[in-house]
Structure 1
Amino acid sequence: MKLNTIKPGMGSTKPRRRVGRGIGSGLGKTCGRGHKGQKSRAGGFHKVGFEGGQMPLQRRLPKRGFVVYGKKQIQEIKLSSLLLIDQNEFDISVLREFNLVKSIDYPVKIIADTQACTRAIKLKDLAVTRGVKDMIEHAGGRVELTIEDVNGI
């Protein structure tokens, strides 16, 4: 194969439309634009969704929903990622030190995954799920919360 012999496959390209080349071409006289009207004119276009002055569909339908700007952002961490760290006491500053959380401004919640807790660890001021709390206490660890509602976060 040579570079000068490469060409597109059969049927993959079509010749360009040659308008205004006589009646026999099928695109003579009006060149496929029909007679009169905005679309037949040069430069005759309108914006997407324009319905000829009628109220467009996107403005007729009611708006629905809104974005809660004060929504709490919760950083979730898997229990297995805590167990990879050789430390027994965890709080948000320790998690930040090991780059497990991006910011200390948002609350952190420890969630369970398939791996069970194998050693006793102590969590301080970190929200946990019920399953994680049970796993940690079953392994001999402790969960100290100053946050009143564990599942509310």
Structure 2
Amino acid sequence: MRLHQLSPKPTSKKRRRRIGRGISAGQGASGGFGMRGQKSRSGTGTKPGFEGGQMPLYRRVPKLKHFPLINHKEFTIINVEKLNTLATNTEVTLESLMAVGIVTTNDGPLKILGNGELTVALNIKAAGWSKSAQAKIETAGGTITHASSVNDQSNNG
């Protein structure tokens, strides 16, 4: 026996309710919709989510941009292409980059991104990095490790 072969007993089928066909039908006059008002009229009434003109919930909830993130972390971001000017086997930290002049402001812990190419082997200490940056650094013969100042960061920030 399959699901499409199932059917109710012939005596168990119930007639559909015929609304607004006189008082003898049981749902005459206003047909169970009350006396007046928007929900008693023909048609669907209101759209789903309509709150009577009040700003609906889906428009009150903040989305996408322009609302503060809770525990948002700011990083000092730099791409690997900017590190090509450094000497081979240099230890790269936020302080060393500021001393050389590659980074001018300290916006938070250092994060390395993978835009561009890297041709120099460097020993980088950063709070976070992208997977593409890690691949380019290791391909060039360098290493990347977590900076000691930030302990709670995962390796890709």
TM normalised by structure 1 equals 0.50
* Residue identity (%): 19
User: 1 CA distance for matches of 2:143 and 2:74?
Assistant: 25
User: 1 CA distance for matches of 2:81 and 2:97?
Assistant: 13
SS in 2 for 1:60: coil
Question: Partner of 1:135 in structure 2?
Answer: 136
Q: Give 1:130 deviation, angstroms.
A: 1.7
List runs of 5+ in structure 2 lacking aligned partners: 1-52
Question: Partner of 1:113 in structure 2?
Answer: 115
Q: Give 1:79 deviation, angstroms.
A: 0.4
User: 2 CA distance for matches of 1:137 and 1:70?
Assistant: 31
Q: Give 1:81 deviation, angstroms.
A: 0.7
User: 1 CA distance for matches of 2:135 and 2:55?
Assistant: 53
Q: Give 1:136 deviation, angstroms.
A: 1.6
Alignment counterpart, residue 150 of structure 1, candidates 139, 152, 155 = 155
Instruction: Indicate the RMSD between aligned Cα atoms, in angstroms.
Output: 2.5
Q: Does 1:91 align with 2:96?
A: no
2:80/2:133 contact within 8 Å kept: yes
SS in 2 for 1:132: helix
Q: Give 1:128 deviation, angstroms.
A: 1.8
1:76/1:108 contact within 8 Å kept: yes
Equivalences, count = 93
SS in 2 for 1:71: coil
List runs of 5+ in structure 1 lacking aligned partners: 1-56
Q: Could you list the per-position Cα deviations for residues 125-150 of structure 1 after superposition, in whole angstroms to 9, with x for gaps in the alignment?
A: 34222222222222221112255511
Question: Partner of 2:74 in structure 1?
Answer: 73
